[in-house]
Structure 1
Amino acid sequence: MFSLFKKDDTFYTLLEASAAEARNCALLLKDVIPHLGGDTSAQLDAIRQSRRKHKKLTQGITEELCKTFITPLDREDIESLNSALNKVPKTVEKIAERLSVCPVQFTHDIVSKQISLLEQATNEVISMVGLLRKKASIDQIQDMQDRLQHIEGDGDKMLMDLLKQLYNGKIEPIEVIILKDLYELLERAIDRCRDAGNVVFQVVLKYS
């Protein structure tokens, strides 16, 4: 049924649940690492289930937007944040699939370090999305945005350092191809978190 007004909690709750499930998907990625070279089917299934739950949340937000005339935030802002959050689990699932078929000798501790950065990034996103409901001040959100940008910057630097190692001519071409693809996907996942944080920052800035 079409609703002229929608209680603020509905959209905030859905967006917070979406951010939480994106983080859960990223956490599940850590469980893939100990099983590399063996059977990773259970870990992949867990990530896919998390992705399905997230897709339902994404669809739920879209449906609420279609049924609601007046929203607590501008409609385009809700759509942008919904879209940004949706890209995190989507990228994580691709990373997990790549890891499951990647020769175990090619997976260095650098992968674990990048996954750790991704976890930190999703933590910041959860906090930032949660502050929308609380009508956070620009100073509060700026601190989190700065931390998120720092994490993303660390990810970029790590990627460049890795690419330098891959391009030094001392690594087999097949290993270069495999690791470059994997590293860039991990860096992209962190970028997706940054994008979600940027949307939250812009929303708070707009209403401050």
Structure 2
Amino acid sequence: MFSLQTIFGQGNQFYSLLEQAAVAAHDSTKALHAMLRESNREPALDAFKLARQREREAADRISHELVNSFITPIEREDIEALGSALYKIPKQVEKFADRYALATQHLAHIDFAPRAAMLEKAADVVVRMVRQLPKMKLEPMKALNDELRALENEADRLMLELYRDIYSGKLDPVQMFLLKEFFEILEKAIDRCREAGVVAYEIVLKNS
């Protein structure tokens, strides 16, 4: 006798699509870190557009599969929540890159690269968490969740250091406005990684 999973499939394509979305998000953070390390060059935005396009394609395929699949390996609401959280990461990164490209002349003295490195590390942890989902093992996922939380805390500390520049009294009003805006975008990008990690962790908590 054939089971329903044999007839309709096990829905494991969702794990693959979620991984594709996570990798695209990670690639966008790598591109940002590379751009900020080479701040003496004209920013190139093609890598961010490509990562966002890949993310959109993965999101569209997830939505399509949710409509057409009889069986999903985890709850549909969880797939949607994780897909949505992953989608927001490269969106935030591209927002930073687009605005940075327009304001580089005002930001030459600010080194964003260490903060971008933290973002890249956070996105890498998210990829590893998504790859852990099919195994549904709580301990490895908890370790990754703790790692992501530690990165978020370190990123918060680095952001506070940058805020000292804003309130130092050495910057003109335009620079102060721009720095505050860029800090908040970068901080939100790290928050997006944390949100995706929390969703992945909670999925395993429910299903392990």
Q: Which moved more, 1:158-167 or 1:22-31?
A: 158-167
- On the 8 A contact 2:106/2:175 being kept in 1, the answer is no
Query: Of residues 22, 25, 43 in structure 1, which corresponds to 2:25?
Result: 22
Residue in structure 2 matched with residue 167 of structure 1 by the alignment:
167
Q: Which moved more, 1:98-107 or 1:22-31?
A: 98-107
TM-score, with structure 1 as normaliser = 0.90
Q: Which moved more, 1:105-114 or 1:85-94?
A: 105-114
- On the 8 A contact 1:132/1:204 being kept in 2, the answer is yes
Alignment-mate amino acid for residue 14 of structure 1: L
- On the 8 A contact 2:12/2:72 being kept in 1, the answer is no
2:79 is the counterpart of 1:86: no
SS of the equivalent of 2:70 reads strand
- CA distance 1:129–1:202, shift in 2 (3 Å): same
Instruction: Give unpaired runs (5+ residues) of structure 1.
Output: none
SS of the equivalent of 1:31 reads helix
2:129 is the counterpart of 1:128: yes
Q: CA–CA distance in 2 between the matches of 1:85 and 1:27? A: 15
SS of the equivalent of 1:7 reads coil
Q: CA–CA distance in 2 between the matches of 1:45 and 1:162? A: 28
Alignment-mate amino acid for residue 113 of structure 1: P
Q: CA–CA distance in 2 between the matches of 1:15 and 1:185? A: 24
| Per-residue CA distance 1:69-128 (angstroms, 9 max, x = gap) | 321000100000000000001011011112111234524464101110011001100110
Q: CA–CA distance in 2 between the matches of 1:171 and 1:149? A: 32
Q: Tell me by how many angstroms 1:155 deviates.
A: 1.4
Q: CA–CA distance in 1 between the matches of 2:146 and 2:166? A: 30
**1:49-88 matched pairs, under 5 angstroms:** 49-88=50-89
- On the 8 A contact 2:36/2:116 being kept in 1, the answer is no
- On the 8 A contact 1:44/1:96 being kept in 2, the answer is yes
Alignment-mate amino acid for residue 19 of structure 2: E
Residue in structure 2 matched with residue 8 of structure 1 by the alignment:
11
Query: Of residues 28, 32, 37 in structure 1, which corresponds to 2:35?
Result: 32
Q: Tell me by how many angstroms 1:53 deviates.
A: 1.3
| Per-residue CA distance 1:163-195 (angstroms, 9 max, x = gap) | 233123332111111111111111111110000
Instruction: Give me the CA root mean square deviation.
Output: 1.9
Instruction: Give unpaired runs (5+ residues) of structure 2.
Output: none
- CA distance 1:177–1:105, shift in 2 (3 Å): closer
Q: Tell me by how many angstroms 1:54 deviates.
A: 1.1
Alignment-mate amino acid for residue 142 of structure 1: K
State the percentage of identical aligned residues.
36
| Per-residue CA distance 1:140-172 (angstroms, 9 max, x = gap) | 111110110111111122222322331233321
| Per-residue CA distance 1:56-80 (angstroms, 9 max, x = gap) | 1011101100112321000100000
- CA distance 1:34–1:153, shift in 2 (3 Å): closer
TM-score, with structure 2 as normaliser = 0.90
Q: Which moved more, 1:117-126 or 1:95-104?
A: 95-104
SS of the equivalent of 2:45 reads helix
- CA distance 1:190–1:34, shift in 2 (3 Å): closer
**1:118-197 matched pairs, under 5 angstroms:** 118-136=119-137, 138-197=138-197
- On the 8 A contact 1:36/1:99 being kept in 2, the answer is no
2:206 is the counterpart of 1:203: no
